[in-house]
Structure 1
Amino acid sequence: MKVKRIFIYGFILMNLFLMFLNHTTAIAKEEGIMEGFNASKAVAEEVNINAYVNMAHVFKNASEGREICLSLAKELGIQRKEIEDTSEKGNIQVILHGEKEQGTICVIVQSSEYEAVKETNIVIDMVYEGLVDVNTVGENIKAILKKYGKATVTSCITGSFNGKLNNAQKEKIVKNMMEYLEATEIEGLREKNMISIVGFSSKIKDYISYGGNQVNINIAMRYNAYEGKTYLWMATPLIAIGY
């Protein structure tokens, strides 16, 4: 399934949430999301991994933004690529779209300069078909982005079940995943065909402040009548793609 991507807006959303990022001594969040998803017994559809670096007090012009995109594309092993430049004076945005193995990659360089304020953000958004080792991919991206600064990585795994699961079945699956990670539900949304849970697991070392609470996992399920499947999304810390 081709899930609707949110590149710029997803990045902004995660940037706001992750400014309060904290750590514990538990397992890495990428390991936690893999373990939690495996506990669901869902069929893996795709994995979305998003990473970004914020460079405060730094401005890159369009030419420099293009060079960064091409350099990252080479390090990421992107095969076929195209570049889109929508830059304006004082507001640079260069986007590179490409393919790699079983997935697609988007590299974004955003840079702004207003009076004395300068800022540059670099985003890498990867979508893989099926299941990949989220932890390995995440660590590789962090290493590639290290020259620009410390990267923040967020991940979401999409899975599915054949047919329409009733509410009790969806609740049971989510409960099993939460129990496996020893997680507590912080906030929940339950509608006719959808359930979405935001929670906290002490087994996962990273968390954010959300509504005054510590959270680090987001699980959602929804039935897609057109495809005849019930989809499952599991992300850390929050789902940043359309579902």
Structure 2
Amino acid sequence: MRKYFVFGLIFILLAGALYNTYAQPMKNINRNSVEMEELLLQTMEVGDFKMEEFNINKSIYIPDVFLTIEELDARKIEIMDTLNIQGEIVYFNMDEISHMEDPRDLSAESLLEQRVEEEGYREIILFAPNESGNVTVIKLLSTNFMGEYETHFLVDIVDNKGYKEIVDISKKIEEIFGDYKAQWQTTINLTGAVVGKLTKAEEEQRQDRIFNFLQAKKIEVLKDELFSSVTAYSPLISSYIEYGDNKVNVQLAMRYSEYEDKTYIWIANPLITTTY
């Protein structure tokens, strides 16, 4: 059974890595990313939803820098200290995950880590589950390919903390790497809910309140009997991607869960990267 848990962790990592690798780079409009985070958080209140979970993915690309495995480890420890991640580290190899044991052996106090140190390639990946069953992923990578140096740091956090904690976490992560003059890329996914099933008219009213608050122009609308999804562009939000011939920096989706008797909402910048 443990291998299924590890498969899930690896899926989280690869999904984030693929998105950040292949998505078009976000372009900034000279606004602070923390302002954007605060703005998105306010949309939950505007739409009368209770926030249940947030996901922040922060990544930074540092050219012309090639770090040792010890330097990467020191940065990893700084991130762990900032996020108050503690626990026993269990080292593993992704190539050997099929031989791992039952996931129940891995508690919230245990951390999974893989290290790779080869010529021109150094990498540390840490998976840190918490008591809520969510996982924080820390990835540090430094390469030297034919004399071209590159370093990448990625922190992916899923949690159910409150408003202040979300903003503080984002600030603290950026402060850790303040000595590098590089541009952070931040993606945010917020999940909220309201008890009961909203009518289609009620869903549209709440969506319109949120988009009016963001001064957003709707770009693409998808609807069926089970869910609705809207991509839009807001001039108030700090970054955007180009989607066809349009700028996009907000996606909103809504779906009713009959099992939980809740109507869920997902709001993300620039696009939703979690399951909905």
TM-score range, shorter chain: 0.7 to 0.9
The alignment status of 1:141 with 2:173, answered yes or no, reads yes
Q: Deviations over 1:87-129 (max 9, x none)?
A: 3645544222336798753211133444344422111112221
Distance 1:203 1:48 in 2: 20
Match of 1:96 among 126, 134, 139: 126
Gap change, CA 1:192 and 1:110, over 3 Å in 2: farther
Distance 2:47 2:161 in 1: 15
Distance 2:123 2:261 in 1: 39
Gap change, CA 1:123 and 1:221, over 3 Å in 2: same
Gap change, CA 1:224 and 1:130, over 3 Å in 2: farther
Distance 1:154 1:110 in 2: 19
Of all paired residues, the percent bearing the same amino acid is 28
Q: Deviations over 1:194-222 (max 9, x none)?
A: 11111111222333322232222111112
The alignment status of 1:234 with 2:240, answered yes or no, reads no
CA RMSD of aligned residues (A): 3.0
Structure 1: 5+ residue runs without aligned partners?
none
The alignment status of 1:190 with 2:223, answered yes or no, reads yes
Gap change, CA 1:38 and 1:6, over 3 Å in 2: farther
Query: Which residue number in structure 2 is paired with residue 131 of structure 1?
Result: 162
Q: CA deviation at 1:62?
A: 4.4
The alignment status of 1:13 with 2:43, answered yes or no, reads no
Q: Deviations over 1:171-201 (max 9, x none)?
A: 2221121112121101222232111111111
Gap change, CA 1:59 and 1:184, over 3 Å in 2: same
Q: Deviations over 1:47-66 (max 9, x none)?
A: 11111111224344545433
The alignment's TM-score, normalised by the length of structure 1, stands at 0.83
Gap change, CA 1:191 and 1:130, over 3 Å in 2: farther
Match of 2:258 among 225, 230, 241: 225
Distance 2:227 2:122 in 1: 38
Task: Specify the code of the residue in structure 2 equivalent to 1:56.
Answer: P
Distance 1:70 1:85 in 2: 14
Task: Specify the code of the residue in structure 1 equivalent to 2:254.
Answer: M
Task: Specify the code of the residue in structure 1 equivalent to 2:19.
Answer: L
**Which secondary structure does the structure 2 equivalent of 1:242 belong to?**
coil
**Which secondary structure does the structure 1 equivalent of 2:260 belong to?**
coil
Cα pair 2:26 2:239 within 8 Å, conserved: no
The alignment status of 1:111 with 2:118, answered yes or no, reads no
Distance 1:14 1:189 in 2: 24
**Larger RCO (CA under 8 A, 6+ residues apart):** 1
**Which secondary structure does the structure 2 equivalent of 1:28 belong to?**
helix
Q: Which moved more, 1:151-160 or 1:21-30?
A: 21-30
Query: Which residue number in structure 1 is paired with residue 37 of structure 2?
Result: 30
**Which secondary structure does the structure 1 equivalent of 2:116 belong to?**
coil
Gap change, CA 1:226 and 1:112, over 3 Å in 2: farther
Structure 2: 5+ residue runs without aligned partners?
1-8, 88-109
Task: Specify the code of the residue in structure 2 equivalent to 1:84.
Answer: E
